[in-house]
Amino acid sequence: MKELREAVIVDAVRTPIGKRNGSLAGLRPDELASHVLRELLKRTGIEAGIVDDVIMGCNTQTAQQGANIGRMAVLGAGFPYTVPACSLNRACGSSQQAVNFGAQSIATGNADVVIAAGVEHMTLLPIGSDFGEGFAAFNPKTVEEYPVIPMTMSADTMAEKYELAREDLDKFALWSHEKAVAAWDAGKFANEVAPIKAPQIEGEDVLVEKDDSPRRDSTLEKLNSLPPLHGGTTTAANACPINDGAAAVMLMSREKADELSLKDRAVVTAQAVVGVEPVTCLEGPIFVIPKCLERAGMTLDEMNLIEINEAFASVVLATAKALEFDALSDGRLAVHGGSLALGHPLGASGARLITTILNALEDKNLKYGMVSMCCGLGLGTATIIEREK
């Protein structure tokens, strides 16, 4: 057995995030994924042939996202066919898991260069497109014990269980949009977003440069007036939107990065995954964050920036309550806005969050970033990255 090595992030990039039927809807998901793969090569100047593996996270692996979309993306990107690829599904945490598996493979000496990426085209393939006829994916016997309910209903359950007020959920959602708009206005996404040309429903192709979903016109009064989706506290505004996008992170051993004269932008310090109660479903971050911190021998106070994926405002507020910090005043959370505003293209979001936190850490000259996500059927993922200051 070889000694463990450090897995470093040398670059990370994402597409702008389109909303359902929005600016990216005219592209195929593999084209979105190929775009971020090509961008990584352009930015780092490496030969595609040295990539040992491409791990593509994707939640809804059917039709245009079926048949190993990772491989389709590699071939479509013009990489030599000798570059392998796989597609993995850890629901919303898919591309975060791609980063974590990629880092493991480098740490153990089984790869030198891995691209960990993710993609989701929710316009073409809405949640559930891979469930099959009559919900064939779900074994009726298992579902008797663990009923499958829509995520938006799980979000209500979280708000009830953790006694969260609608007013606070709406405040948090509004804050996400304000931070995202401010970040766009201040040019904070310039280094992470790779504009992409996309066919539109009418007219010429357009170079899409910005995310579709952040709203400038949000007000608390408007948010408070929106009807609950299921009679609880979850609304269209304190739930993430439906989106299209892709993101990719290039990982290397430190030795390989040095050999190629590439700066290591961060090290993957620790990672964890948990299973949680599948009906409440969204408690993953509450359990996986402490587990990951324990692995790193660190505390949450030591994290300079934190991303808890904003699948729903209730997920972040419940996690903060359980881990005893105040989501509404903690200055470390999603400093450039979260998925409520930027969007949540499921399989792409983990790599997107790691890309965004890396750029935010650099922007603020900070060291430690924690990324955590809740995932369907009761899973949680976490990663700590560390910059050399």
CB atoms within 10 A of CB 82: 9
The residue annotated as part of the active site, out of 35, 121, 336, 344, is 344
What the block records as the tokens of 51 is: 């990539």
| Min dist. Cβ of residue 25 to ligand COA (A) | 14
Active site residue 58: no
Positions touching ligand COA (CB under 6 A) are 92, 127, 151-152, 173, 177, 215, 218, 222-223, 226, 229, 236-237, 239-242, 311, 344
The residue annotated as part of the active site, out of 58, 92, 281, 292, is 92
DSSP states of 321-387 as a string? HHTT--TTT-TTB-TT--HHHH---HHHHHHHHHHHHHHHHHHTT--EEEEEEEETTTEEEEEEEE-
What the block records as the tokens of 136 is: 């064939």
Distance, in Å, from the CA atom of 271 to the CA atom of 37, rounded to the nearest integer, reads 24
Q: Is 136 helix (H, G, I), strand (E, B) or coil?
A: coil
| Min dist. Cβ of residue 42 to ligand COA (A) | 31
CB nearer to ligand COA: give 13 or 311.
Answer: 311
| Min dist. Cβ of residue 174 to ligand COA (A) | 7
| Min dist. Cβ of residue 307 to ligand COA (A) | 15
CB nearer to ligand COA: give 113 or 240.
Answer: 240
| Min dist. Cβ of residue 185 to ligand COA (A) | 17
CB nearer to ligand COA: give 15 or 152.
Answer: 152
Residues in the chain: 389
The residue annotated as part of the active site, out of 240, 292, 374, 375, is 374
* Strand-pair partners of 119: 246
3-state class percentages of the chain: helix first, strand second, coil last, to nearest 5: 35, 20, 40
* Strand-pair partners of 88: 57
| Distances from the Cα of 189 to the Cα of 22, 64, 209, 246, angstroms | 19, 28, 10, 15
Distance, in Å, from the CA atom of 311 to the CA atom of 240, rounded to the nearest integer, reads 5
| Min dist. Cβ of residue 261 to ligand COA (A) | 40
Active site residue 35: no
* Strand-pair partners of 332: none
CB nearer to ligand COA: give 177 or 265.
Answer: 177
Of 287, 156, 166, 152, the C-alpha closest to 232 is 156
What the block records as the tokens of 65 is: 């996202």
Of 124, 17, 32, the C-alpha closest to 69 is 32
| Catalytic center residues | 92, 344, 374
